[in-house]
Amino acid sequence: MNRRLWISGGLFMVLGTFAGLRFNTLADEGVRPIPNTLGRSVDDESAPVMHAKLTASQRVLEGLLNRDFKTISTAAEILSQLAVAAHQHQEQDRDDLIYEHFRTEFIRLSEQLESMAEDENLEGAAYVHQSLTATCIACHRHLRDRDDL
Catalogue the long-range contacts made by 47-53 (C-beta closer than 8 Å, 24 or more residues apart). Answer: 49/82, 49/85, 49/86, 52/78, 52/82, 53/79, 53/82, 53/83, 53/136
Quickly name the fold that domain 47-148 has: Four Helix Bundle (Hemerythrin (Met), subunit A) (1.20.120)
pLDDT at 10: 60
Q: Strand, helix or coil at 85?
A: helix
* Residue ranges of domains in the chain: 47-148
Residue 37 to residue 108: CA distance in whole angstroms: 28
Tens place of pLDDT for every residue, the chain, 149 residues?
Answer: 666 766 666 655 655 665 555 555 555 556 565 554 544 445 666 788 889 999 999 999 999 999 999 999 999 999 999 988 876 655 555 568 898 899 999 999 999 999 999 999 999 999 999 999 999 999 999 988 877 76
Quote the pTM value: 0.68
pLDDT at 24: 52
